[in-house]
Structure 1
């Protein structure tokens, strides 16, 4: 007899006709029953992620009042009749609305905390691109390897409404040289290309935990014009930056209403560690606009002398106004004005010292701030040298060295190409600095002393750049529009805003 094989077990579809259809029907029924719960769970997750992002963007000085308001609301709801029941129902309804399916069942649009199926390929491609930078043959337990699991290193991933990467948090090996600028730059350039061009990104390196967080930054507001800012005497708004970069918000008007924006506030006076300001920028980048914006704020509490080194007449609208002691554009007039400013600084120092020794208050004319604004000092120095006149930079040395004690502030603006022609005193005593225009990270480092934590924008609007006050961080900056009001080619709304801020004419 030949050897017989064991009888085979029939397949489920063969033994039970219609078995596959029955299993599919049961699965569909279970999914239909659980669908509302899945929608609510997805919506609650979306709301939790939105709340966390809102908390991260909230300035630190507002987090305490926000927590107090939330706790008070919860107590009121708990004390109301049926309050907890109605509150839970409202929360579930909000979760169902946030988690509802739209756009063909693709889920609620908005930022997603977890990657969807269409993002898997993008994340895997990014993981594979990082392998050559985060792997070595000598690593016994590599985090990155070709064909490896990206979920072990990508801890958080979010996308925006357009499906683009909005947030990515990843781990990297402990042996990676994250303290070297070249190593960081290679990773940042790769992530920027993979995340998509046309946006600015911030890279936060946590060397202690070996974590890197990429965040897509929203564009800074460009619709704000010069206006009366709510500041204290001695405070000047240079522009506006990211909410997470500063601990303060200011109410501003944009033509349609009032909203809060995070300002970059520069403080001057006797106790200021950055009493003088240097602004460098490309052509038509907004350097003169920033000087005019600073002047409009300074004239509210002090006096000013203006030197137009380029002789273009950009500050002609300030001539003959209250608080404006001089507006000069010629070489002899500029030298005479700067020589007077140097003698006035010395007079203020002597008067303040004598009053303190006598135990008397400092005179009011000494305490009133005096602003020396010089636009294009390098161009003025070139013209002065051509005419055989004194170097104007030497006349600025006394106000720069002793201006803080005498309530004298120097503000200078120059083209970035002419930064090497500036005097040594002007460069040494201007701890508050701004660079405007399309500049590369190495240029920002040369001017501000540190590289920015963000990538440069693809399109640079006027007044866009970076600021650094002393040894603080490098901040993104957008200067409010303050055009020459005599230039009829500018925006009418911005021109009128400057005209309203100009001091009254001297009778």
Structure 2
């Protein structure tokens, strides 16, 4: 059955009603725009009148008379002044317009979603911060979370960026396990994927959790403004250290907070141990240290991996040797041990004679050993001694002889490090994505930050001696001979390399007729300057 059309009067009537509504809405909007100043002044007069009534009600009765007399005197003064009435009217209208203006409402507390998040976090902390014997618990199911959370901040997405927690005095905040449980809970409840810093105030029973920003990865290899004996391991948070150095970050120059490692005779941490995951940037850190050490000293490089990561340093001024094989590594380390002893004897004789220490003794010598565990395994397979045994003299007496040892290895080779290495390498660095237990096994204590979800190369933690654990980002120092290296980074590293050594050609001495040529003792040349170690 066909649908019957609506009567003409109904269809035309609905259209006219719609047009009438649109006209009324437009007229109301125009009237609001025209009358907006009047509405603002009226609102301001109402607010001023209300404020006046509150002020009059709050005035004591014995002071109302003088106040009324003062107001009457002001009115009389304006009335007697030329144009006083006009001035008073303009002043009142201006004050009313300023008071009645539309203001953006100020947020004075958390909204509904933020309140629900804080209450959920409070309820999750109840089992950890409450005991049955407490007559007035600060944390209880259904309790007041505002008493426990004295400060909080949220970002634009409604996630916590800062939280200050007040906990009861009987909580065992001096135990690392108790603190770790609270930190893991807050990390999980506040949102993963970010790094959190936890500052425990054991004296005031307060915990402050804050979100840390990502460390910049755009700082590359360059000359850092440091004194002799100072090495920049990387960069950290601005509030973690009390020093900054100017750095080139892209096309700009800015101040960055460095992690400075001090070596030399007065250093309390003369040797460094670097542990990391594969591809975490341990070789990058070693190259960065080598480039900085070549400014004031000589270096020996022993590479256990045999991947040629340090080929760019071969034959450069100040580079005494770059060894990859077990035989060459043992010979180089044996020479380094003898050189350390020679430096000690020469320095002792100079001091006994009342003379200054010779310049060759004062010039720093760096021993850079990469993957000693691999070298030890290869040496054991060939029936040779462990290269770490030859490091005992440089590690124990290197500070007095101005000899510095830097070792890098991976976590799978951590068990192969000897007791001498663990004892004397008091400056530690951990790179890569690691658990809190792995970081503690190297640094001796857990960091006060949560592990990052996305770890770029060169990202980790550093601890110098018994100091605090610092976040660390190593400056990008890639292999310039690697095809995957960018052109800008390649030129930056090549610009820091010393000049190549000129080969020394010795003239052949003809043997006299009838006289046998003397047989020289077998020697292994370690440096290009003619220094040799005899068997």
Confirm whether residue 312 of structure 1 aligns to residue 268 of structure 2.
no
Q: Which of 490, 497, 516 is residue 502 of structure 1 equivalent to?
A: 497
Confirm whether residue 264 of structure 1 aligns to residue 244 of structure 2.
no
TM-score (norm 1): 0.78
| Contact 1:287 1:413 survives alignment (8 Å) | yes
Q: Which of 161, 166, 176 is residue 181 of structure 1 equivalent to?
A: 176
- Give the Cα–Cα distance (whole angstroms) in 2 for the partners of residues 261 and 113 of structure 1: 36
Confirm whether residue 254 of structure 1 aligns to residue 249 of structure 2.
yes
| Contact 1:178 1:207 survives alignment (8 Å) | yes
- Give CA deviations for 1:135-168 in whole Å, capped at 9, x if unaligned: 2222111111222221111111112344321111
- Give the Cα–Cα distance (whole angstroms) in 1 for the partners of residues 135 and 292 of structure 2: 61
Partner of 1:229: 224
Confirm whether residue 296 of structure 1 aligns to residue 291 of structure 2.
yes
How far did 1:116 drift?
Answer: 4.1
How far did 1:493 drift?
Answer: 2.1
How far did 1:29 drift?
Answer: 3.6
Structure 1, 123-132 or 446-455: larger mean CA deviation: 123-132
How far did 1:120 drift?
Answer: 1.5
Partner of 1:208: 203
Query: Where does 1:57-68 land on structure 2 (aligned, <5 Å)?
Result: none
SS in 2 for 1:135: coil
Partner of 1:192: 187
Q: Which of 436, 454, 467 is residue 449 of structure 2 equivalent to?
A: 454
Between the two proteins, the alignment pairs up a number of residues equal to 411
Flag the 1:32–1:352 CA change in 2: closer, same or farther, 3 A: farther
Flag the 1:177–1:322 CA change in 2: closer, same or farther, 3 A: same
- Give CA deviations for 1:361-385 in whole Å, capped at 9, x if unaligned: 1000000000000101110111111
Confirm whether residue 367 of structure 1 aligns to residue 362 of structure 2.
yes
Partner of 1:6: none
Partner of 1:397: 392
Partner of 2:236: 241
Which blocks of at least 5 consecutive residues in structure 1 are unaligned? 1-24, 35-98
- Give the Cα–Cα distance (whole angstroms) in 1 for the partners of residues 435 and 337 of structure 2: 36
How far did 1:114 drift?
Answer: 5.0
| Contact 1:113 1:158 survives alignment (8 Å) | no
Which blocks of at least 5 consecutive residues in structure 2 are unaligned? 1-38, 49-101, 503-535
Runs of 4+ in 1 over 3 A off after TM superposition: 28-34, 112-118
| Contact 1:482 1:498 survives alignment (8 Å) | yes
Partner of 1:82: none
- Give the Cα–Cα distance (whole angstroms) in 2 for the partners of residues 491 and 31 of structure 1: 68
- Give the Cα–Cα distance (whole angstroms) in 2 for the partners of residues 391 and 124 of structure 1: 59
Flag the 1:449–1:113 CA change in 2: closer, same or farther, 3 A: farther
- Give the Cα–Cα distance (whole angstroms) in 2 for the partners of residues 113 and 190 of structure 1: 28
- Give the Cα–Cα distance (whole angstroms) in 2 for the partners of residues 100 and 424 of structure 1: 69
Partner of 1:441: 436
Q: Which of 320, 323, 327 is residue 322 of structure 2 equivalent to?
A: 327
| Contact 1:485 1:498 survives alignment (8 Å) | yes
TM-score (norm 2): 0.74
- Give the Cα–Cα distance (whole angstroms) in 1 for the partners of residues 203 and 376 of structure 2: 49
Q: Which of 459, 473, 478 is residue 464 of structure 1 equivalent to?
A: 459
Flag the 1:249–1:113 CA change in 2: closer, same or farther, 3 A: farther
SS in 1 for 2:198: strand
Confirm whether residue 416 of structure 1 aligns to residue 415 of structure 2.
no
- Give CA deviations for 1:399-438 in whole Å, capped at 9, x if unaligned: 1110000110000101111010112211211000111111
| Contact 1:114 1:157 survives alignment (8 Å) | no
Instruction: Quote the RMSD (CA, aligned, Å).
Output: 2.2
- Give the Cα–Cα distance (whole angstroms) in 1 for the partners of residues 352 and 269 of structure 2: 27
| Contact 1:202 1:453 survives alignment (8 Å) | yes
SS in 2 for 1:243: coil
Q: Which of 475, 480, 487 is residue 480 of structure 1 equivalent to?
A: 475
| Contact 1:305 1:325 survives alignment (8 Å) | yes
Q: Which of 135, 139, 155 is residue 130 of structure 2 equivalent to?
A: 135
Flag the 1:301–1:194 CA change in 2: closer, same or farther, 3 A: same
Flag the 1:127–1:384 CA change in 2: closer, same or farther, 3 A: same
SS in 2 for 1:212: strand
How far did 1:244 drift?
Answer: 1.2
- Give the Cα–Cα distance (whole angstroms) in 1 for the partners of residues 170 and 153 of structure 2: 27
- Give CA deviations for 1:199-255 in whole Å, capped at 9, x if unaligned: 100111111111111011111111111110000000000011111111111111111
Q: Which of 148, 153, 164 is residue 143 of structure 2 equivalent to?
A: 148
| Contact 1:302 1:369 survives alignment (8 Å) | yes
How far did 1:330 drift?
Answer: 1.3
Partner of 1:217: 212
How far did 1:395 drift?
Answer: 0.9
- Give the Cα–Cα distance (whole angstroms) in 2 for the partners of residues 114 and 420 of structure 1: 53
Partner of 2:375: 380
- Give the Cα–Cα distance (whole angstroms) in 2 for the partners of residues 32 and 326 of structure 1: 87
